């Protein structure tokens, strides 16, 4: 009998949120040596070298015999900018593994959720003793997040915390297409001042030289595939409704114990709020390396043109990239029994 995600409403304790600030299982062994730069993209090799240099800054400096040690050169943060699928998250996780403890790793969404759960002052206290805060998928989706993150990072940098982040958007253009950035220019410029930007160019490695995603299964084949132990099985629209009732910080726990995710009757997602929640869910599925099997429309029809042309275009493209890789894993798993 398959698991139904719509029946799961996990409770995530605050202590679990703090203890869980580590790279996801997909990147648990990531290191600089296992990152394979594209030989046609010199920026990738350059990014590795710059991050290895940045990692050296994280080691506590020995004190000189008289007076304080000289402060290290460079800004307190490094910002990896590039398209989706070029390995930015791998590099960020590699930097985290190379950093001395204490250290923390979170997606941007998880970081804002942590502040919401702890409160601002408590979040600053919990993170201010860290050598590194690594932030994946850095995006500013609304003005409230802009002010919150700008203030949080300023407090942490003042406390001596180094910050590393990845994004598909340069720090100076965060928020464009989502809200009037002119009203929050001071906060955005403040964020940019913390980071040295490192460009990572290249093609999407998840699909480099590989065929497109396999076509959706029939409902009958999907139902048979869902009978395998550890599989979940949900109607797509019912799952979207369920996500609207759960805080995104609980999406990951909802997937605990699964070996595959089966989604029946996938349809285009026309509501932007539902689409953004789906992006978060797919990120958590990808973090856990869970194969996905679907019936319904092909993946290229998942997000309509009006969403793909909007301010969250890069989020949706990353979601499609990751979901395509997961569906390909589902096909490699053998499809229906």
State mean pLDDT over 190-216: 77
Domain end residue (candidates: 199, 215, 244) = 199
- 115's enclosing H/E stretch is helix 108-118
Do 43 and 70 sit in the same domain of this protein?
yes
Kindly state the percentage of the chain with pLDDT values over 90: 53
Q: Average the pLDDT over each of 82-96, 185-199, 204-218 and give the range with the smallest value.
A: 185-199
Contact 260, 328 (CB under 8 A): no
Average pLDDT rounded to a whole number, residues 283-307: 94
Domain assignment of residue 15, yes or no: no
| Domain end point (choices 136, 164, 199) | 199
Mean pLDDT of 299-305: 95
Choose one of 181, 199, 217: the last residue of a domain.
199
Q: Are residues 141 and 175 in the same domain?
A: yes
Q: Is residue 174 domain-shared with residue 300, that is, in the same domain? A: no
> Does residue 334 carry a pLDDT above 60?
no
Q: Report which of residues 42 and 332 the model is more confident about.
A: 42
Q: What is the pTM of this model?
A: 0.77
52 in the same domain as 154: yes
Position 70 scores a pLDDT of 46
Q: Residue 49 — very low, low, confident or very high, per pLDDT cuts 50/70/90? A: very high
Whole-angstrom CA distances from 109 to 65, 115, 280, 284 are 44, 10, 8, 11
Closest C-alpha to 83, from 316, 320, 314: 314
CB within 8 Å of 142: residues ≥ 6 apart: 178, 179
Rounded mean pLDDT of 300-324? 89
The per-residue pLDDT for 221 is 96
Asked whether residue 131 is domain-assigned, the answer is yes
Regarding whether 195 and 130 lie in a shared domain, the answer is yes
Q: Are residues 94 and 173 in the same domain?
A: yes
In a domain, 2, yes or no: no
Same domain, residue pair 192 and 214: no
- pLDDT of 335 reads 56
State the CATH number of the domain containing residue 118: 3.40.50.300
Predicted local distance difference test score (pLDDT) of residue 184: 37
Identify the domain containing residue 167 by its residue range: 31-199
Number of domains the chain contains: 2
Phi, psi of 304, rounded to the nearest 5 degrees: -70, 160
Q: How far is CA 50 from CA 43, 161, 264, in A?
A: 10, 18, 45
Same domain, 195 and 218: no
| Contact assessment for residue 179 and residue 142, using Cβ atoms and an 8 Å cutoff | yes
H-assigned helices in 9-41: 14-19
Contact in structure between 163 and 195 (CB atoms under 8 Å) = yes
Q: Are residues 259 and 134 in the same domain?
A: no
Q: Would you state the structure tokens that stand for residue 235, as one six-digit string?
A: 């109607």
- End-to-end CA distance of the chain: give it in Å, rounded: 14
Same domain for 152 and 231, yes or no, is no
337 in any annotated domain: no
Statement to judge: residues 176 and 246 lie in one domain: no
CA distances from 303 to 139, 148, 269 (A): 19, 29, 6
Q: Is 86 inside any structural domain?
A: yes
Position 37 in a domain: yes
**What CA–CA distance (Å, rounded) separates 227 from 2?**
6
Question: Does residue 175 register a pLDDT over 60?
Answer: no
pLDDT value, residue 186: 53
Residue 161: exposed, middle, or buried by beta-carbon count in 10 A (0-12, 13-18, 19+)?
buried
- What pLDDT, on a 0 to 100 scale, did the predictor assign at position 191? 66
Residue 19 lies in a domain: no
Range list of β-strands (E), 111-256: 132-136, 162-167, 195-199, 231-235
* pLDDT at residue 326 is higher than 60: yes
pLDDT class of 141 with cuts at 50, 70, 90: low
84 falls within a domain: yes
Q: For residue 228, how many other CB atoms are within 10 A of its CB?
A: 16
Same domain flag for 154 and 40: yes
Q: Is 88 exposed, middle or buried (0-12, 13-18, 19+ CB in 10 A)?
A: buried
- For the record, the structure tokens of 172 come out as 């100076």
């Amino acid at each position: 009998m398959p698991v139904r995600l719509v029946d799961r409403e996990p409770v995530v304790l605050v202590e679990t949120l703090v203890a869980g600030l580590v790279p996801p299982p997909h990147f648990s062994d990531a290191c600089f040596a296992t990152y394979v730069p594209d030989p046609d993209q010199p920026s990738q090799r350059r990014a590795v070298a710059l991050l290895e240099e940045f990692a050296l800054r994280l080691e506590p400096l020995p004190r000189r015999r008289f007076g304080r040690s000289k402060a290290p050169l460079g800004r307190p943060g490094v910002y990896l900018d590039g398209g989706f699928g070029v390995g930015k998250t791998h590099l960020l996780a590699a930097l985290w593994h190379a950093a001395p403890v204490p250290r923390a790793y979170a997606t941007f969404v998880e970081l804002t959720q942590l502040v919401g759960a702890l409160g601002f002052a408590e979040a600053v206290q919990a993170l201010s003793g860290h050598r590194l805060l690594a932030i994946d998928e850095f995006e500013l989706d609304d003005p409230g997040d802009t002010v919150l993150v700008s203030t949080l990072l300023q407090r942490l940098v003042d406390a001596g915390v180094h910050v590393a982040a990845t994004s598909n958007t340069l720090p100076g253009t965060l928020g464009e297409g989502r809200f009037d950035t002119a009203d929050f220019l001071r906060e955005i410029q403040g964020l940019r001042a913390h980071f040295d930007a490192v460009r990572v160019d290249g093609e999407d490695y998840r699909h480099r030289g590989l065929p497109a995603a396999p076509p959706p299964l029939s409902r009958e084949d999907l139902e048979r595939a869902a009978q395998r132990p550890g599989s979940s099985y949900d109607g797509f629209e019912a799952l979207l409704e369920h996500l609207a009732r759960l805080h995104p910080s609980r999406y990951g726990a909802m997937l605990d114990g699964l070996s595959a995710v089966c989604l029946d009757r996938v349809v285009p997602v026309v509501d932007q709020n539902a689409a953004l929640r789906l992006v978060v869910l797919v990120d958590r599925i990808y973090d856990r390396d869970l194969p996905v099997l679907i019936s319904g429309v092909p993946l290229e029809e998942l997000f309509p043109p009006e969403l793909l042309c909007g301010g969250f275009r890069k989020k949706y493209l990353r979601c499609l990239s990751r979901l395509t890789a997961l569906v390909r894993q589902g096909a490699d798993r053998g499809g229906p029994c």
